[in-house]
Chains A and B, each alone.
Chain A
Amino acid sequence: MAWREKTAWITLVAMGVTYGVYFTLISRQSLSTLSMLELFAVVTVLQVIAVVTVTSVLAALSSEEARAKPDERDRAVARRGASIAYFVLIVGVITVGVVMPFRDSGWRLTNATFFALVIAETVRYLTVVVSYRRGWHG
Chain B
Amino acid sequence: MGEGRVINQLRTLRFLAGEMTQAELGAKIGVTRQTIAAIEQGKYSPSLEAAFRIALALGKSLDEVFQWETEKS
User: In the complex, which of the residues A1, A68, A74 has the most CB atoms of chain B within 10 Å of its own CB atom?
Assistant: A68
Cβ-defined contact, A65 with B44, below 8 A: no
Judge whether A108 is part of the interface by a CB distance below 8 angstroms: no
A2 interface residue per 8 A CB criterion: yes
Asked if B38 is at the interface (CB within 8 A of a chain A CB), the reply is: yes
Report the bound CA distance from A3 to B30 in whole Å: 15
Using a Cβ cutoff of 8 Å, how many contacts connect chains A and B? 40
Residue numbers in B under 8 Å from A71 (CB-CB): 30-32, 35
Partner of B32, one of A2, A134, A136, A137: A2
B50 CB-CB contact with A under 8 Å: yes
Q: How many Å lie between the Cα of A57 and that of B6 in the bound state?
A: 38
| A72 contacts B35, C-beta separation under 8 Å | yes
Query: Which A residues are in CB contact (< 8 Å) with B5?
Result: 137
Check B59 for interface membership: any CB of A closer than 8 A. no
Evaluate contact between A136 and B44: CB separation under 8 angstroms.
yes
Q: Are B45 and A2 in contact, CB atoms less than 8 angstroms apart?
A: no
Question: Does any Cβ of B come within 8 Å of A101's Cβ?
Answer: no
Shortest distance from the beta carbon of B50 to any chain A beta carbon, whole Å: 6
Pairs across A and B, CB under 8 Å, 25 listed? A2-B32, A2-B34, A2-B35, A65-B32, A68-B32, A71-B30, A71-B31, A71-B32, A71-B35, A72-B31, A72-B35, A72-B47, A72-B50, A73-B31, A73-B35, A73-B38, A74-B32, A134-B43, A135-B38, A135-B42, A135-B43, A136-B44, A137-B5, A137-B44, A137-B45
Contacts from A to B (Cβ < 8 Å): 1-3, 5, 65, 68, 71-74, 76, 132, 134-137
Give 7 nearest A-B pairs by CB, closest first: A135-B43, A71-B31, A2-B34, A73-B35, A137-B45, A73-B44, A71-B35
